[in-house]
Structure 1
Amino acid sequence: MSQQLPSRWDELTTTDWKAALDKSSKTCILPIGILEKHGPHSPLGTDLIHVRDIAARVVKNEYAVTFPDYFYGQINEARQQPGTFALPSDLILKLIEATCDEIARNGFTKIVILNGHGGNPEFMRFFMQSQLYKRKSYAVFFYTPQGDPAFGEKLASMRKSAAQGDLHAGETETSVLLYLHPELMKMDRAASESGENQKRATLPPDVYTPIWWYSGYPNHYAGEGAKATKELGQLIVDHEVESFSKALKAIKADTKTLEIQDEYYKKVDGLNR
């Protein structure tokens, strides 16, 4: 019976709910992507498709409930491109908090963010730090893969383009989608636009400005997607599945984070007495 239990939230029945909570150790994965241009060849939902598929593979190894498609992230830097879905900053902050609150109201105490969009980490970390402002009955975990030298060497040996410029819809990201969903790719268009850094800015690299990305990559394309291969995509996906499976297992077994978080809230409350 447990093997028949769906992992996706929207595929569960209410009569499955308790079993899903128990089997997942009250852990819910929240895959977050975005809707934005990914070169002239990859789908707008590349980031979401990527993490959604990784989650689907991981929960076969380590069960957790997976929240349905979520694409309300930070993407103001691509609003000039057709198909971009960008909401106001205050709204996306309220949405992610309300979503996590509602996930918790349904019985989950651990929410694991699996992010697929490079423009989200700063926003996600700010949201998570904001969680400490008021008491929560749940903990949020942001999965951020660490370096793996052996994998890095294998990846480098299979590359056909320079790693430095492979930032968005380039060889690696295109390879992943080419492996996961070749039917969605338009590889004959991959070289129809330039993915090179235009280097239009004159500021030194230690000075930040929000227009930095558009300044360098006005096509919202950074890399050489035409050099992608399914073999490279499989290498990346297999590594991501293995790494996230280990992290998810550790999160499910963790008892300290909620305990320490509650201790913190109690001390904050104690200052007002």
Structure 2
Amino acid sequence: MQLRLCSWLEVERYLEASTGIIIPIGSTEQHGPNGLVGTDALCPEVIARAAGEREEIMVAPTLSIGMAQHHLCFPGSVTLRPRTLMAVVYDVVQSLARHGFRHLYFLNGHGGNINTVQAAFAEYYADYSLHETPGCETSTHLHLGNWFAGNRVRALSAELFGDAEGSHATCSEVSLTQYAYPEAIKQVEMSPRRAPSGGFRDAVDFRRNYPDGRVGSDPSLASPEAGEKLFEAGIADLLDDYRQLLAR
């Protein structure tokens, strides 16, 4: 059930039965030689939309640009400053809460968003605590879930790829996009097969340390078949977590 494909009357009727909504959030950044630039937004989007269709949950438009400054030495990468992303998340929350959504589940696809989104949540709760009537508790519940960190997805990734999963341009996320968008699969030779691991400081340092954009991964192991398994695991993880949020 996509918010953007509903009329306002349909949204109003939905709110009579449920106050929950899923907001996919990701990033627009390089994902190695065979990964799509939109990977971090596409992964939570396809999982959220499938879960929404199966369980009649409202799904908001994807917030597809995130905090990705460290990828800016790779063409196609786009970033928001942390303060800009915080403002976007805050305004989205305020807008949806004004209409009566009380359980807002952000399904995230990009590790670089985590701290910033949590900081936006903290700002929202702080403003309520500072400005509302003493003793009154906000009825808005905010939650950030990372599709790649769900119990089923993590176990399946370890089973399928082991240490070759890596931490950026991972086998799992590339597999999921290959399943969702088979027409966009890239056949690219990886050299070395497994990328180096380590840290980085800024965009220049990232490109210097990881010339093809991968960190610790061998996404040549990715496949649409693995992507389908991860897709189903991601839906199950999301629905478990979402139901817990609604129960609050």
TM-score, normalised relative to structure 1: 0.76
> Which aligned runs of 4 or more in structure 1 are off by greater than 4 angstroms?
144-147, 192-195, 208-215
Mapping 1:169-184, distance limit 5 Å: 169-184=169-184
8 Å CA contact retained: 1:198, 1:215: no
Mapping 1:201-216, distance limit 5 Å: 209=201, 213-214=206-207, 216=209
**Residues 1:77 and 2:70 are matched in the alignment:** yes
Distance in 1 (alpha carbons) for counterparts of 2:73 and 2:151? 36
Distance in 2 (alpha carbons) for counterparts of 1:133 and 1:253? 23
1:42 is displaced (CA, Å) by: 2.4
Distance in 2 (alpha carbons) for counterparts of 1:27 and 1:14? 16
Residue 50 of structure 1: aligned partner: 43
**Residues 1:93 and 2:86 are matched in the alignment:** yes
CA 1:83 to 1:147, structure 2 compared with 1: closer, same or farther past 3 Å?
A: closer
How many residue pairs get aligned? The number is: 236
1:192 is displaced (CA, Å) by: 6.4
- Cα RMSD after superposing both structures: 2.7
Q: Percent sequence identity over matched residues?
A: 21
CA 1:59 to 1:149, structure 2 compared with 1: closer, same or farther past 3 Å?
A: closer
Farther off after superposition, 143-152 or 112-121: 143-152
CA 1:103 to 1:148, structure 2 compared with 1: closer, same or farther past 3 Å?
A: closer
1:244 to 234, 238, 241: 238
CA 1:53 to 1:17, structure 2 compared with 1: closer, same or farther past 3 Å?
A: same
Counterpart AA for 1:171: C
Mapping 1:63-212, distance limit 5 Å: 63-135=56-128, 138-144=140-146, 148=151, 152=155, 154-159=156-161, 162-163=162-163, 166-186=166-186, 188-189=187-188, 191=190, 196-197=195-196, 209=201
Mapping 1:21-32, distance limit 5 Å: 21-23=15-17, 25-32=18-25
8 Å CA contact retained: 1:34, 1:73: yes
Distance in 2 (alpha carbons) for counterparts of 1:244 and 1:126? 22
8 Å CA contact retained: 1:190, 1:225: no
Distance in 1 (alpha carbons) for counterparts of 2:37 and 2:201? 25
Distance in 2 (alpha carbons) for counterparts of 1:137 and 1:253? 13
Structure 2 unaligned blocks of 5 or more: 129-137
Compare CA radii of gyration and give the structure with the larger one.
1
Distance in 1 (alpha carbons) for counterparts of 2:154 and 2:127? 40
Distance in 2 (alpha carbons) for counterparts of 1:91 and 1:151? 30
1:198 is displaced (CA, Å) by: 6.7
CA 1:59 to 1:140, structure 2 compared with 1: closer, same or farther past 3 Å?
A: same
Structure 1 unaligned blocks of 5 or more: 1-6, 202-207, 255-273
